[in-house]
A and B are shown apart, each in its own frame.
Chain A
């Protein structure tokens, strides 16, 4: 079945630094990947849609200059949280595929900014 690998699974960084999160589709090509943010005990909120070879489409209210998304290949999308602040601490999850694959999700990245 479709597998999506997300790395790292857990990261702590200092305020003001940048963090990169990778999302890879291991056994299929993903022209579209999605990035979500999940606050504790809440549902997933779509941040952006990442399209291979083109700019990402951000949801309303998401700062595209803070959350940089790059989808340079059919198997890799990256989310970079720039100049991270404590309020950026959250659980970030990517997904890839589409309706046929049922949107396979990565295992998530717990970001803590101190």
Chain B
């Protein structure tokens, strides 16, 4: 069965510092991978996605992620964090089910940014 693991429940970084959020997945086939961001009381906004091709994916707001098949990982990175990046981040893998692709989410990583 598919699963997504985000090992870090909560990360705190200083504004301007670099960021890496970890994500590992378990899925038998080639995965479709996503990173979403959620502000409190809001829906999810797609940051970036990987389907195939270049394993380094660029997203919105200066985020990028690298797919590493050998490590079953899809870590999210940002070179310089801004205070507005404080939010909850979810990694997800799409899998085929019920005639369509469905998403399985990790438990999320809460990012706090120190001014």
A residues within 8 A CB of B42? 107-108
**CA distance in complex: A14, B53 (Å):** 51
CB closest residue in chain A, given B32: A99
**CA distance in complex: A43, B92 (Å):** 10
Q: How large is the interface on A (under 10, 10 to 19, 20 to 34, 35 or more residues)?
A: 20 to 34
A residues within 8 A CB of B90? 43-44
Q: Determine the main DSSP class of A at the interface with B.
A: strand
Q: Determine if A25 is an interface residue (Cβ-Cβ < 8 Å).
A: no
Q: Determine if B67 is an interface residue (Cβ-Cβ < 8 Å).
A: no
A67-97 contacts to B, CB under 8 A, are 91, 93, 95
A32, A51, A99, A110: residue with the most chain B Cβ atoms closer than 10 Å: A99
CB distance from B33 to the nearest CB of A (A): 10
Q: Are B107 and A43 in contact (CB under 8 A)?
A: yes
Q: Are B107 and A42 in contact (CB under 8 A)?
A: yes
B46-70 vs A, CB cutoff 8 Å, 1 = contact: the mask equals: 1001010000000000000000000
B residues within 8 A CB of A49? 97-100, 102
**With A43-B107, A99-B51, A102-B34 known to touch, is A93 a contact of B102 (CB < 8 Å)?**
no
Question: Of A4, A93, A103, A107, which is within 8 A of B94 by CB?
Answer: A103
Q: Determine if B101 is an interface residue (Cβ-Cβ < 8 Å).
A: yes
A residues within 8 A CB of B25? none
Q: Are A93 and B100 in contact (CB under 8 A)?
A: no
A residues within 8 A CB of B49? 99, 102
A31-87 contacts to B, CB under 8 A, are 32, 34, 42-44, 46, 49, 51, 57
10 interchain residue pairs of minimum CB distance? A105-B44, A107-B43, A57-B98, A105-B43, A102-B46, A32-B100, A108-B43, A43-B105, A43-B107, A102-B49
Known: A49-B98, A99-B94. 4 other contacts (CB 8 A): A6-B43, A93-B43, A98-B100, A105-B36
